[in-house]
Amino acid sequence: MGTKQVDLGDLIELGYDSEQVSMMSERVILVDTSDNEVGSMSKVDAHRGEGVLHRAFSILIFDDSDRLLLQKRAADKITFPNVWANTVCSHPLADRNENDSSELGSGAIIAAIRKMEQEMGIDTNTFSLSDIHFITRMLYRAKSGDGWTEYELDHILFARAPPNFSFEANPNEIAETKWVGEEDLAVWLEDDVGQGEIIAPWFRLIAENILTEWWGNLDNLPEMSDTLVRDYGEVGMSGDSMSSSSDEGFLVALKSHKNCVEDRINAALSKTANQRLRDAMLHLFGGGGKRLRAILPWLVADSVGNAHDGLYDLGAAIEIIHNFTLVHDDIMDNDPVRRGRPAVHVAFDHPTAINAGDAMLAVAFEVLAESPHFDDLHFRDLVRIVGGMVRKVSEGQQLDMSFEDRDIVTEAEYLQMISGKTAAMFTTCARTGALLSGADKDIVNIMAEWGEHVGLCFQLMDDLIDATGDSETLGKPACSDIIEGKQTLIAIHALQQDGGKLSNFNEVFGSGVADTDREVLDTVLKELVDVGSIDHARKMALKHHSEAHKCLNRLPQKDNLRILRELTDFQMVRIS
């Protein structure tokens, strides 16, 4: 589901500063994770919910004593107010032709000169284009309060302040400024919270990962520029990757294998000679993701037998198929946003999206056929199992669409639907991972059963999160399944209860009103809690969670099995 477009008038009514709100209509440049331009979007829509990946810049100005000029963002700033950041950070704009038309970073430099005047009061004649140097890029996502997110591919710029350098900070933008040296900033970074002066997460990333390469060699810095995109993922105010202690081992395992499968995915999808088709096929992968399905066969094989490079080929093929289904699902559901960026049919067009999905399915089987790690017997098994998975996913999707025209859907039918649409991929990853590990038939069957329970738990937890979460956390309207009239387990149970106890639910269910008032949604949630629908779905999720652990208990107990137990528990820690 896409994020609803924000009315700027509503922001003013919510108390946001009118001058800051006026700039939220500017159009930022949307990019993929390789910094290729894919469109434009208003600044306000690009920063709501989970955010949509767009280009930004951060300029760092040093004086002749190698001190860096910092600014404290004003209290009126919409995102990250009252935090300290580099000299100026903002966005090249699509409606000002600040794209990289001549060379990498050129648009960011033009935008930096414009914003230095607007924020810092630095005369536009202070710096020429050649005085500002593009050095490198970084990719990050950081969440502010009240449902705002910075999801940016940041062009990082450097400049030396000229003699007689002066500025007059705009109080609507900047509360305070400060020149700091390397040692001063190091002390600050150690305990900014304790000192009561918080450092913005993107500047902390720059300071701790990039500035260490700069200070002491500023005069030679322009020659140190590179074309890298340094991916720091999602970060908190501390600059640390966002993960909880309960799932740390599992997430570390995902991260350690991610590059191996992504290299295979990118190589496979880049084979087509048609640039537009290739870009469309790669588009969703630019939105990030943990690549759980891609890495799961390797994790299973490592837990029950012997893992090898062929598991990465298999995982890449399944992940490509997963994304193919998402491309077509978004078309069928008319969803405009996927993973915080325009869906493929929006970024390109409907025919190209359909064609890209078809090509992705074909490429996935090419990956399997071309892998040197499967003998003929295993290849035949893989084609049969993966082909059956695609059929089951399609059957689940068709069943889901048929529910839209029915007043009554049974719980058994719903579980059958999500068994195909969601759990089939988990089952296939687990079955094939065990098969290729050399495990015996009984263990292969146990792992397939485990994958089914994990997949069902995953979908049931998604249903609960949609019903009990808020729009800020979800990055989409809260209770969107209820508003759209989706026949989830929660809704199926509720529709079987006394309608007099669910008056608000019955009014909202299937209404299609995406901006339903939060107070109304709270009454809907209370009704669902009171009649037991939320508890019923939670108990069903817990049942499949328990059954998945019972499957693992039937296996030889190896140390590596811990990762699969953490993966099983990961479904449950997604909701409190």
> What's the CA angle centered on 472, arms 499 and 344, to 5 degrees?
95
The conformation of residue 510, written as its DSSP 8-state character, comes to T
* DSSP letters spanning 294-317: HHHHHHHHHHHS---THHHHHHHH
Q: How many helices (H) and strands (E) does the chain have?
A: 24, 12
Instruction: Give residues with Cβ within 8 angstroms of 234, minimum separation 6.
Output: 140, 141, 142, 143, 241, 242
Cα–Cα dist 355/277, whole Å: 8
Name which of 284, 314, 289 is nearest 299 in CA terms.
314
Distances, alpha carbon 294 to alpha carbons 248, 265, 320, in Å: 19, 9, 9
Of 250, 229, 251, 256, nearest to 241 by C-alpha is 251
The answer to whether 567 touches 248, Cβ cutoff 8 Å, is no
Rounded to whole angstroms, the Cα distance separating 244 from 544 reads 23
Dist. CA 193–CA 236, nearest whole Å:
13
Q: Which tokens go with 327?
A: 């491309």
Q: Where are the domains of the chain?
A: 8-235, 245-574
Backbone angles phi, psi at 405, to 5 degrees: -100, 10
Backbone Cα Rg of the chain: 26
Rounded Cα gap, residues 33 and 284, in angstroms: 10
Phi, psi of 338 (to 5 degrees): -140, 130
Closest alpha carbon to 152 in 32, 71, 326: 32
The three-state secondary structure class of 334 is: coil
In the CATH scheme, what is the code of domain 245-574? Answer: 1.10.600.10
Could you read off the pLDDT of 504-544 as tens digits, one per residue? 888 988 887 877 778 888 888 889 989 999 889 988 988 89
Contact between 368 and 317 under an 8 Å Cβ cutoff? The reply is yes
- Tell me if domain 8-235 and domain 245-574 are identical in fold: no
What's the CA gap between 316 and 305, in Å, rounded?
A: 20
* Distant-in-sequence, close-in-space partners of 432: CB < 8 Å, separation ≥ 6: 297, 314, 318, 381, 382, 385, 386
Q: Which helix (H) or strand (E) holds 552?
A: helix 533-553
H helices of 439-488, where? 441-468, 471-474, 480-484
DSSP assignment letter at 86: S
Q: What is residue 333's predicted lDDT score, i.e. its pLDDT? A: 79
| Torsion, Cα of 269, 274, 275, 280 (10° steps) | -50
Q: How far apart are the first and last CA of the chain?
A: 23
Token readout for 56 is 């930004």
The topology (CATH level 3) of 8-235 is: Nucleoside Triphosphate Pyrophosphohydrolase (3.90.79)
CB 147 within 8 A of CB 471: yes
HEC per residue, 255-277? HHHHHHHHHHHHHHHCCCCCHHH
pLDDT of residue 18: 81
Residues lower than pLDDT 70 in the chain: 1-11, 13-15, 145-146, 192-196, 236-249, 340, 469-478, 571-576
- Let me know: does 571 contact 461? Beta carbons within 8 Å: yes
